[in-house]
Structure 1
């Protein structure tokens, strides 16, 4: 099946209409150039991520770690630094499309299958859904995979490096700081008080663990 990609770039009409097109056009993946005229690519990323779970790949000339972490923290799934090899971009797009399809294909199944409950949070691995106190949460693929992995291995401490290798893989261009960003985003959604997390705990000097009792 042919995939639909939406590319925000310097020649796109960056308006509310363009953003609406990106989130309502039934696209499978969004390529987002951060260097946009008259608008911050980071702001666009935030708006898009709030409205859709499809993969977002940042295309950027900014290679500083702080810029990459900021984009990932706003919900981007990956980044490609300019100038880039077109073959690398195609490979990354295919990898994210395959991962997204794998995660979402279970959405056709009944939701009465396996469920993981932690405090008032319910995780449905097959249908890729997360609820808190009965309210469905938007959980992009990396966040869902990370939460699911921790929930499937409760009360075990995992280092940031181990989590990075497990969720992102060895071929991903990044570092373990990405884990910290995503843990923060998950906490904002599932914790009653993200500043005092009770579900995903930090074990200083060791990593993170999911408290099964919440």
Structure 2
């Protein structure tokens, strides 16, 4: 039996190995490279002929559900990060501070993941589609330009201006609403996408936010007495 080509590269003898048809090891390697190159070329031609390797089919496009979700959820997460940092820096209750920093750091990491998707798909961080256009009922979910659960500029200003225990309670109330809206968006992409990375990450997001909701609601109940 002829030894594999990888084994030939480890031989230290100067005597060339000749197989049954008289071809040396170097010749066999060259022949193998040519066959591999030919196979790659044929595969590429077949792929393009069948439309299998075009960006439109192999990765989400600019108006796709996946791209819309990545862009909109990045914006949604950015507000949650801001809210979490306010709670971490100024909340009076230790548990609320911890919840705030956990949400801020976790969602910042998820934003990085979604922006990496867009870069790998060759897409810009922002697209031409309006917010929530990727969901069937998306238009009806946007209120005053805000996606589900998002706080208005006035509400964010109030959160920044509030002090003490009132801040703790307001943060919890706003974040509960924010997470409920985020989970609705996640359910939308889970129902529509078959992209493995997107589905896997979205499911992890949902599980994390459901756990957050349990903690947020328990803390709110405790602070309300």
TM over 0.5: no
**Higher RCO structure (Cα 8 Å, ≥6 apart):** 2
Indicate the structure with greater strand content.
1
Indicate the structure with greater helix content.
2
